[in-house]
Amino acid sequence: MGIANYFDSDPNFTRTQEAELVRLTKALRQVIDSSVKLNAPLETLTQLANDAETMAAQMQPYSSIRPIAAHNKHFRPDDVNWSAPYSPVVGRCNPLSPPMQMVLREDKAIGTVTYGDAFEGPPNCVHGGMVALAWDHVMALANMLINARGPTAWLHVDYKKPTPLYTPLRFEAWIDKLEGKKIFVKGACYANGEIVTEASGLFINTVIKNIGVEAEMLRQEQLHSSDNPDDRHPLHPSRFTAD
């Protein structure tokens, strides 16, 4: 069964439900991190497995159409995560995401993240495939600097040094040049002030038209319009920070 809503949210899914979904996702993310280094007595493992199977069975009947729009055309440069809540890189509703925190600053897309044990490749280093995945997302979002969107045509990553776990990383991407619909993007990732990877990519500007997002944009405007800090949408930018 598909899991779209791509451009619409469930109008009956309340802000309280969304806040609990975000809280659940955070807990699942902690479970994933703990599970890859779990060394417990047999009785504990048995109980945890039973609990996990019970939880999976409880969730399954409700796992169908996503309640929050997966892709939001209403865009906030100060908190890009909000536009992709289910992304495996930045999604706050995806337990597989670290999640990276994304912002747009002047002429750069900037992502900050610290990877834990679940993302390990070589000892104490981030898996190279995860680094490439991060680059694909960061560089794609750099297209937003010129109000463009489109798929990746190709992506090249130069691994200058091992990318360390448990260390704040800063991905920076910028537009290199334009050729018609072709958008060439470059970037560099820093750890402890040193470049660990550099990347370049080609993206094709195919801005989606006539996708019927106006109602969802209005809904999100209303959800974000409250001046009461306790009445903010759970994915409101002010609930999160990014360097």
- What are the pLDDT digits (tens) for 65-119? 888 888 765 566 666 787 889 999 999 999 999 999 999 888 999 999 999 999 9
Most confident of 45-59, 138-152, 206-220: 45-59
Give the percent of the chain with pLDDT over 90: 63
Tell me what the pLDDT averaged over the chain comes to: 84
Q: Which residues, 6+ apart, have CB-to-CB distance to 116 below 8 Å?
A: 33, 98, 165, 166
Q: Which residues of 66-84 are buried (b: 16+ CB within 10 A; e: fewer)?
A: bbbbbbbbbebeebbbbbb
What pLDDT is attached to residue 38?
97
CATH code for 106-204? 3.10.129.10
Closest of 117, 111, 114 to residue 34, by C-alpha = 117
**Element holding 169 (H helix, E strand):** strand 169-179
